Amino acid sequence: MTVAHEATAAPGETKPARGSGVTARPPKRNRSWRSLIPWLFLAPALLLFLYFKFIPMAEGIRLSLYKVQPFLGDIFIGMDNYTSVLEDTAFQEAASHTVILAFGQTFGAMLVGFFLALLLEGQAKSLWFVRSAVFLPVVAATAVVGEIWRVLYFPDPNGFLNEVLSWVGAGPSTFLDHPDTALTSVMMVGIWKHAPYDMVLILAGLAGIDREQYEAAAIDGTNVFQRLWYVTLPALRPVITILLTLAAIRGLRVFTEVYVLTGGGPAGATSVWMTTVFSRGFEKNDIGVASAASVMLFLVTFLLTVVVQVWRRARENR
């Protein structure tokens, strides 16, 4: 004679009916602990972000409303620091240089990255080495890149780039040492450094394009440029939107390459928003105005991101 022993259900746990095929759910207490496990793994990173990013950000917003006087006590002045930033000619010139530099680097890097992606697209095994070599400027430290290009831009006729220009009957150029050419020279460095990053994203977008679209376009008698315009570029629209957002924010926040290459000179010809903030905060010790300028830059980049995302969603919903 066989006797069946049934386990007694724990308090609050529903016992499934025999033969129903329903798996018993874990107790609510276990489910709550399991939901906390991901947060436990995220906790160290969140603490680091809180201490090194969000708390300093909040402190910067607070300081932007004060006249900062170390050891004497801060004085609340409201929006006066923001007014000083808007009326300061140094910040006005820096804003124009920043916009020009961001515009040139954004579209220059995207254009170069697009052509690099077209050249390096494919399944050949040897392409991985070429792609890795092309991507090296992105992973190189910006300060190191700036120092290397400062040597290449040496204005003497025997400088490297001037020597190369002499082979084609051009030059010599003063590059970073003249106000008329300094900003363009800094822009070229930014394009050289950021174009491979854009190339990688565009390569990912090209890999997702259905090859049958190219075949259908070729059957219709289109040439290479028409296929690029009517097939490739529309398919890359989401990637281009992402690139525009990232590159514009990157361009507006540019600092290291300008600081290493020119320090904002000559005669302020390459001064950008962040170099002016650095000068005000750490050279002139005007922490309140520097904080206000930093907050304004944050608001501009945040607004730019929102506008691009709203525009992208509006285009997708049409």
The per-residue pLDDT for 18 is 53
Residue 188's pLDDT band (cuts 50, 70, 90): very high
pLDDT computed for residue 22 by the predictor: 53
pLDDT in tens, 64-106: 999 988 888 888 898 999 999 999 999 999 999 999 999 999 9
Is 179 within a domain? Answer: yes
Range with the poorest average pLDDT among 29-33, 119-123, 185-189: 29-33
Cis peptide before 196 (omega within 30 of 0): no
Question: Is 145 exposed, middle or buried, given 0-12, 13-18 or 19+ CB atoms closer than 10 A?
Answer: buried
The domain of 151 spans: 80-316
Task: State whether residue 248 is helix, strand or coil.
Answer: helix
For 32-41, 134-143, 198-207, which range has the lowest pLDDT when averaged over its residues?
A: 32-41
Residue type for position 196: P
Q: What total of structural domains would you count in the chain?
A: 1
pLDDT for 144-186, tens place per residue? Answer: 999 999 999 988 888 888 888 888 888 788 889 888 899 999 9
What is the model's pLDDT at position 217? 83
The whole-number pLDDT of residue 149 equals 93
* Residue 20 placed within a domain: no
**Span 276-293, average pLDDT:** 92
**Domain-embedded: residue 271:** yes
Question: Is residue 21 over pLDDT 60?
Answer: no
| % of the chain residues with pLDDT over 70 | 90
pLDDT the model gives residue 296:
94
Q: What is the pLDDT of residues 239-269, one digit of tens each?
A: 888 888 888 888 888 999 999 999 888 888 9
**DSSP letter (8 states) at residue 279:** I
Q: Assign 67 to helix, strand or coil.
A: strand
Question: What pLDDT sits at residue 20?
Answer: 53
Residue 8 has a pLDDT of: 47
Give domain status of residue 284, yes or no.
yes
Establish if 172 belongs to a structural domain: yes
Q: What is the pLDDT of residue 7?
A: 44
The CATH number of residue 93's host domain is 1.10.3720.10
Of these ranges, 53-57, 125-129, 219-223, 302-306, the one predicted with the greatest mean pLDDT is 53-57
pLDDT for residue 24: 55
Q: Kindly state whether residue 197 falls inside one of the protein's structural domains.
A: yes
Q: CB under 8 Å, gap of 24 or more: what pairs does 75-82 form?
A: 77/288, 81/288, 81/289, 81/291, 81/292, 82/292, 82/295, 82/296
Alpha carbons 67 and 298: distance in angstroms, whole number? 20
Give the mean model confidence (pLDDT) for residues 188-205. Answer: 92
Please say if the pLDDT value at position 122 is more than 80. no
Give the residue, 6 or 75, on which the prediction is more confident.
75
Q: Is the pTM above the cut of 0.85? A: no
**What's residue 15's pLDDT?**
52
- Average pLDDT for the chain: 85
With respect to residue 75, please indicate whether it lies within any of the assigned structural domains: no
- pLDDT for residue 92: 92
Residue of higher predicted confidence among 121 and 148: 148
> Is residue 72 one of the residues assigned to a domain?
no
**Full 3-state SS string of 90-117:** HHHHHHHHHHHHHHHHHHHHHHHHHHHH
* Average pLDDT of the segment spanning 229-248: 86
CA distance 25 to 154: 72
Per-residue model confidence (pLDDT) at position 131: 86
Q: Assess whether pLDDT exceeds 70 at residue 28.
A: no
**Quick one: average pLDDT of 282-307?**
91
